[in-house]
Amino acid sequence: MVSWTCAILLIASAIWAGTVENSSENLARCLADPTRNDGVRIKVFQEAQILNGDRPGSLVVRERGRGAGVQARLEGADGVSPGTNTVTIVGIFHAPDILRVEELRIHEGRNMKIYFSVPVVFLLGIWLARGFRLTRNGLEAR
């Protein structure tokens, strides 16, 4: 009963928080109705990356956490290079697909954090295997 209650609360929390987050002003919503959202201030931070645009020297930001094809052309991001690091951008959306940058932060070393974290997960697995054994009743301390 306790387990089921926790599981239901966790699923409900995820649905609630995700729905609220996705219904806030964001790049995907602006792109869905560019004219209406012209001039809206948005935050782009859900696994966003800066990539090369279709014209030489142009940049786009793609926010993978909002779905496929959610990307906008960047203006005011002088001196920024495309890369694999994730970014956070606060800016003003302009129709049809332009994001004028007000604040931009590149998360340098984010990939390094992920690579360094993988061995820790394995270490954790070893600690757990050394600390517990699986029995019919659950995890029992060794």
**Which region among 29-37, 63-71, 73-81, 92-100 touches another protein (by CB under 8 A)?**
63-71
- Which of residues 14 and 39 has its CB atom nearest to another protein in the complex? 14
Is the Cα dihedral 21, 27, 33, 35 positive or negative?
Answer: positive
- 32 binds another protein per the rule CB under 8 A: no
Q: Which residues contact 75 (CB under 8 A, 6 or more apart)?
A: 94, 98, 99, 100, 101
Q: Give dist(CA 57, CA 63) in Å, integer.
A: 20
The number of residues making up the chain comes to 142
- Which of residues 21 and 58 has its CB atom nearest to another protein in the complex? 21
Evaluate whether 51 touches 62 at the Cβ level (below 8 Å). Answer: yes
Evaluate whether 129 touches 139 at the Cβ level (below 8 Å). Answer: no
- 90 binds another protein per the rule CB under 8 A: yes
Candidate residues 10, 32, 36, 81; the one interacting with another protein per rule CB under 8 A: 10
- 64 binds another protein per the rule CB under 8 A: yes
Q: Which positions lie near another protein, rule CB under 8 A?
A: 2-3, 6-7, 9-10, 13-18, 20-22, 43-47, 64-67, 88-90, 103, 105-110, 112-114, 116-117, 120-121, 123-124, 127-128, 130-132, 135, 137-142
